Structure 1
Amino acid sequence: MDRKSICTAIGIAILGTVILFFSTDHFQAFTAEQARRIDVLTNTPSVPTVTFEDSKSETFTFSDFHGKYILATYIYTSCGDVCPVVEMNFQSIYSQLPANILGEQLQLLSISFDTVRDTPHHLEQHREMFQADGIHWRMVRVPDQQELDLLLEQSGVIVIPVGNKFEHNAAFYLINPEGQLIKIFDYNSPNQVVNELKQILSF
């Protein structure tokens, strides 16, 4: 390779590195999911005021938890792959939280995006399966599709119907007492979530 070719190759490599540096937010965002999480940390979007229905057919909104942190995840009860893992890890988090934190400073929500099939009856079966108390950890749905779509969009949750199933991303979402989404955790790192909550809630 002659001198000119070497200089050209070096120039291309440098240019590629510069492009990669800026397009990945200083090498932090190598995937769309990582980029989304960085965006949340940067912008802390407010969650929309939507109406939930839980496994007891009771309705409420995010504003009913004003002054508390909310840890949420998005699932559907007939999911046979990632959702059971998400919920088992949520159960692990739930079991490690002190009683004086649950309900007082923190609310847990498993939010179904399958509004048609996940009736209160199915949500109740799901609650029993994962031994949630239905008070401090509630299984809920958003009956209004437009409200659900807005919530998913604001939270960066991607849900794609495929036959009777859904392709979707999975994570744990932390909302602060002001109703802002401040952190997205890997669904397979429950201990990291607990450690972070210890720092925030001092337990």
Structure 2
Amino acid sequence: MGLVSPPVRLDDVWLVDQTGKNRLLSDLLLQNVTALQTIYTGCSSVCPLQGALFNAVQDRISLIRTRYPLQLISIGIDPLSDSPPALQEWLKRFQAGPAWKAATPTLRDVDRMRTALSGSPLPLGNIADHSTQIYCFDAKGMLRWRSADLPRADDVCDVLRALART
């Protein structure tokens, strides 16, 4: 957790967003300062807490003066269930505005993406044990910060503010 030094560019993966559109991860990240979380829409334990966290961050980011646009991305890690309609329902459930998107990678890319985000070579657990960290990217699509599990909204906003100034 903390500052990622040196910053890391994740391998590009194809994602399907909440509208059903295929998008490259790099296309979603470039030109935006991004806070990203991993969720699965069928989760009833920590994922609703993560949705509430992003809702709180969303309420605060409109107050941040920035050089680059700020955005939130929820990445579904259960490609078999995190369909575009499920992702749309997730966003609706937490009153997501236009700066909050959701997408899911293909089945073959989900574990590779989770491993890259974690920064650890250790094997991943099942999705029920997924990370509750927030990952912040600069406007060049570089991973710059990993939070502790379930960080405070103010901490995420502080990192976004710092990344949006550079």
1:42 maps to amino acid: S
Maintained 8 Å contact 1:73/1:171: yes
Pair 1:199-2:162 in alignment: yes
- Aligned twin of 1:51: 14
Higher RCO (C-alpha under 8 Å, 6+ residues apart):
2
2:146 maps to which of 167, 177, 184: 184
Instruction: Report the Cα offset of residue 58 of structure 1.
Output: 1.6
Pair 1:137-2:100 in alignment: yes
Q: Encode CA deviations 1:144-170: one digit per residue, 9 max, x unaligned.
A: 222222211111177523xxx621121
Instruction: Report the Cα offset of residue 201 of structure 1.
Output: 2.4
- Aligned twin of 1:149: 111
The alignment's C-alpha RMSD in Å is: 2.3
| Equivalent-residue separation in structure 2 for 1:168 and 1:111 (angstroms) | 12
| Equivalent-residue separation in structure 2 for 1:101 and 1:73 (angstroms) | 22
Instruction: Report the Cα offset of residue 99 of structure 1.
Output: 7.6
TM-score computed with the length of structure 1 as normaliser = 0.70
SS at 2:71 equivalent: strand
Once the two structures are superposed, the pairs formed by residues 13-52 of structure 1 within 5 Å of their partners are 37=1, 41-52=4-15
In the comparison of the two structures, how many residue pairs are matched?
159
Instruction: Report the Cα offset of residue 125 of structure 1.
Output: 1.0
2:134 maps to which of 172, 189, 196: 172
Maintained 8 Å contact 2:80/2:107: no
Q: Which structure 2 segments of 5+ residues have no match?
A: none
Bigger mean CA offset, 165-174 vs 192-201: 192-201
Maintained 8 Å contact 1:46/1:154: no
Identity %: 20
Q: Which structure 1 segments of 5+ residues have no match?
A: 1-36
Instruction: State the structure with more CA Rg.
Output: 1
2:85 maps to amino acid: H
- Aligned twin of 2:81: 117
| Equivalent-residue separation in structure 2 for 1:196 and 1:114 (angstroms) | 28
SS at 1:48 equivalent: coil
- Aligned twin of 1:19: none
- Aligned twin of 1:8: none
1:72 maps to amino acid: L
